[in-house]
């Protein structure tokens, strides 16, 4: 199996909340770090014992030494809710959400789309008025389902591509503007 295939297979076992609790920017970078020998297999907080044992089996590592850490840091699936009466429509949560699970326009109340929210909590800290709260789930089956994982992976990838395109456009606009100024003899 190639390194890329192994990364794909490990990524497929990760919860895809994109929560960064593993200290990597998303699930796939963590999978890459495992394959590159830079990260241990016990760093996925939402994954719990199921993810640990699945990854351990795939990479042929004994999971026993990691059980205590994984049990201690395990975080049950949640979602978040926005208090519509307090939200000031600053858009910071939309920018922070890795899977585009929040909708709203500037200066208008924002809403979380439950079926897209992975419970990563990355929107909570940037909110300037503390109007986003965690919601415990009675039934976590949807959040941990393979369909949800696939959806979250695709939405994360789509957001990353969109951000990259925006950055490329900014860089191009800057280069064009600089060239024009140089042609005018200002620089």
For the CB of residue 94, give the shortest distance to ligand SF4 in the complex, in Å.
7
Contact 13, 58 (CB under 8 A): yes
Judged by CB, which is closer to ligand SF4: 6, or 21?
Answer: 21
User: What is the rounded CA–CA span in Å between residue 187 and residue 180?
Assistant: 10
Judged by CB, which is closer to ligand SF4: 68, or 83?
Answer: 83
46's CB contacts (< 8 A; 6+ apart) are 15, 17, 19, 21, 74, 75, 77, 119
For the CB of residue 125, give the shortest distance to ligand SF4 in the complex, in Å.
10
Q: How far is CA 138 from CA 63, 79, 106, in A?
A: 29, 11, 32
For the CB of residue 170, give the shortest distance to ligand SF4 in the complex, in Å.
23
Which residues partner with 2 through β-bridges? none
Judged by CB, which is closer to ligand SF4: 66, or 118?
Answer: 118
Contact 33, 26 (CB under 8 A): no
Contact 93, 123 (CB under 8 A): yes
For the CB of residue 148, give the shortest distance to ligand SF4 in the complex, in Å.
11
Binding site for ligand SF4 (CB under 6 A): 14-15, 17-22, 24, 26-27, 30, 44-47, 80, 82, 87-93, 96-97, 99, 101-102, 104, 110, 112, 117-123, 126-127, 129, 131-132
Judged by CB, which is closer to ligand SF4: 129, or 181?
Answer: 129
């Amino acid at each position: 199996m190639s390194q890329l295939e192994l990364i794909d297979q490990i990524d497929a076992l990760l919860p895809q909340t994109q929560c960064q609790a593993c200290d990597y920017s998303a699930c796939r970078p963590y999978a890459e770090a495992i394959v590159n020998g830079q990260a241990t297999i016990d760093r996925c907080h939402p994954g719990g014992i199921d993810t640990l044992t699945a990854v351990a089996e795939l990479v042929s590592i004994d999971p026993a030494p990691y059980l205590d850490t994984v049990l201690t840091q395990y975080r049950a699936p949640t979602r978040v809710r926005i208090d519509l009466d307090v939200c000031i429509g600053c858009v910071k949560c939309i920018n922070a959400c890795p899977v585009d699970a929040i909708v709203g326009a500037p200066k208008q109340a924002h809403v979380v789309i439950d079926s897209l929210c992975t419970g990563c909590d990355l929107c909570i800290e940037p909110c300037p008025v503390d109007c986003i709260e965690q919601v415990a789930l009675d039934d976590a089956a949807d959040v941990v389902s393979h369909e949800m994982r696939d959806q979250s992976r695709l939405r994360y990838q789509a957001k990353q591509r969109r951000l990259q395109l925006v950055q490329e456009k900014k860089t191009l606009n800057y280069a064009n503007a600089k060239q024009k100024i140089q042609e005018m003899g200002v620089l």
